[in-house]
Amino acid sequence: MIGPMSNQGRPRFAFYGDDFTGSVDALLQFRRAGLSGLLLTSPDALAAATSERCGAVPDVIGLAGLARSLPTAELPDEVRPALRVLRDTGAAVVQYKACSTGDSSPTVGSLGRVLEIAREEFGELPIPVALAQPDFGRYTFFGHHFAADGDQVFRLDRQPTMRDHPITPATESDLRLQLAAQTRLPIGALPWTSYGDAGTVAATLRGDLPDGSDRGRPAAVIVDAFVDDHLDQVATAVLDGAAIDRSGQARFVLGSGGISGALGRAYRPADPLPELPTDCPPARRPMLVLSGSTSRRTREQIARSKWTVVDLFDPGVAERTATELTAGRDVIVSSTTDTDLSSAAADAVTDSDIPGALATVGERVLRSGDLAPDRMIICGGDTAGNVLRRLGVDAISILAQPWGNAVLCRATSRHQHLDGLELVLKGGQMGHPDLFTDVRSGNPQN
């Protein structure tokens, strides 16, 4: 179960992640900077954990959410309570962790609507919007965003995955124009040519104009970054007293794991945690993969594993999965297979039911006592969060980083059969081709 934490202290940073795999990435970036952290699965879990008087408050508290996949009309009910409970932790900086490809549209997961909500909750200082994450192949140059696909870097609206995204296809690389289609708030920019002058960076993030007025002050500022040093300068300005509201209000930022890492580096904890291990022991029992991902990378990983693949829409999916695991075989339960079962049976299961169907299989298998898997992979940024919440996982923490941004985590739960379960949460495009077999064996990425 979640250990109670003291309210005599407070976290330095708090963040809401708009999907679960992205939330894990933010937690990882803070951890790489030496900060302790805990990622919770709901506002209720966070409020309960921070209301007790025993234990230590981590440097970072994260809240994994689902906003990226929600219709824009539903965002206030998801985002506002989350931001309020994070603000009330007393953190100096609260981040809305968005995907580094800026996945959003006027109708789904609107980042423009998020900015409007944040202005109402955190005041009117300009909100830095930092989507770049150079170590993940995400760059912003004069307001235009770029994303790698394999060994090539594309302008966002030409990047194959984002151009053809089934829900939020990228049609514009200029982030100012993308956000302008989602909100009427004025959007400004901080070009990379301003870096090197700390005063200019800080003034821009305060919204100061040369004449000292607030005329035309932007509500949000797109910040350029194509190397970590750019993000570090932004983070330093955010943490600097001159760039933080003097009322003591938490400073709000919107961005990817790139700005998470930069904030951690700028903070420089006095007693940083040691580096994460880059290896781990093998799984003790056969592996279970629950996949709601449709990405080409996930399909490649499934094919490379040569494990038993069970169609999620097979009426006997839970029983067959349990039988295969009991026989010592690693099993992948997938909502996207090359068999005829999916096309025949999927009519009865909508996309929104897929996480529930996967969680039902997971619940059946994980309650099988000594034969239950001790390590599990969940594929799909939106899928992972829904599955974990439905299973009853309360929080996760990072154990090791053997496979890049696909990290090994430990589940915390009030349910005994889930507490201590090892997890890898994998977004669609995450991980190298042999990720599944390496997670099974504990081998680090080659």
Cα 408 from Cα 319, distance rounded (Å): 27
**Model confidence at 55, in pLDDT bands (50, 70, 90)?**
low
Query: Residue 145 belongs to a domain with what CATH number?
Result: 3.40.50.10840
Domain membership flag for residue 276: no
Instruction: Answer with the one of 234, 267, 300 that is the final residue of a domain.
Output: 267
Look up residue 216 and give its two tokens. Answer: 């035309």
**Model confidence at 427, in pLDDT bands (50, 70, 90)?**
confident
* List of residues 6+ apart from 320 with CB closer than 8 A: 310, 314
Please give the full DSSP string across 387-424, using - where no structure is assigned.
HHHHHT--EEEEEEEEETTEEEEEEE-SSTTTTT-EEE
pLDDT at 320 over 80: yes
Domain membership flag for residue 8: no
Instruction: Answer with the one of 233, 267, 301 that is the final residue of a domain.
Output: 267
Domain membership flag for residue 3: no
Residues 308 and 194 in one domain: no
Asked if 285 contacts 255 with a C-beta cutoff of 8 angstroms, the reply is no
pLDDT score of 394: 92
Instruction: Answer with the one of 267, 301, 318 that is the final residue of a domain.
Output: 267
CB atoms under 10 Å from CB of 311, counted, come to 22
Residues 377 and 299 in one domain: yes
pLDDT at 342 over 80: no
Residues 353 and 422 in one domain: yes
Domain membership flag for residue 96: yes
Q: How many structural domains does the chain have?
A: 2
Domain membership flag for residue 49: yes
pLDDT at 378 over 60: yes
Residues 184 and 218 in one domain: yes
Residues 45 and 176 in one domain: yes
Residues 135 and 179 in one domain: yes
Residues 241 and 389 in one domain: no
Residue 284's φ and ψ, nearest 5 degrees, are -80, -25
Domain membership flag for residue 6: no
Query: Residue 333 belongs to a domain with what CATH number?
Result: 3.40.980.20
Residues 23 and 145 in one domain: yes
What is the rounded average pLDDT of the residues 19-36? Answer: 93
> What global pTM score does this model have?
0.88
Tens-place pLDDT, residues 61-112:
999 998 998 999 999 999 999 999 999 999 999 999 999 999 999 999 999 9
Q: How far from 212 is each of 203, 204, 206, 251, CA to CA, in Å?
A: 10, 12, 11, 21
Segments forming the whole domain that contains residue 92: 13-267
What is the rounded average pLDDT of the residues 418-438? Answer: 93
pLDDT score of 245: 46
Domain membership flag for residue 121: yes
Tens-place pLDDT, residues 193-231:
999 888 899 999 988 865 555 567 899 999 999 999 999
Q: Which residue blocks in 150-253 are alpha helix, DSSP H?
A: 160-163, 175-180, 198-206, 228-239
Q: Report the run of H or E that residue 140 belongs to, with start and end.
A: strand 138-141
Residues 350 and 394 in one domain: yes
pLDDT score of 6: 36
What's the mean pLDDT when you consider all of the chain? 88
Residue 78, strand partner residues: none
Residues 74 and 132 in one domain: yes
pLDDT score of 8: 47
Which comes out higher in pLDDT, residue 244 or 178? Answer: 178
Domain membership flag for residue 158: yes
Residues 222 and 310 in one domain: no
Which comes out higher in pLDDT, residue 392 or 371? Answer: 392
pLDDT score of 445: 87
pLDDT at 246 over 70: no
Residues 176 and 298 in one domain: no
What is the rounded average pLDDT of the residues 321-344? Answer: 80
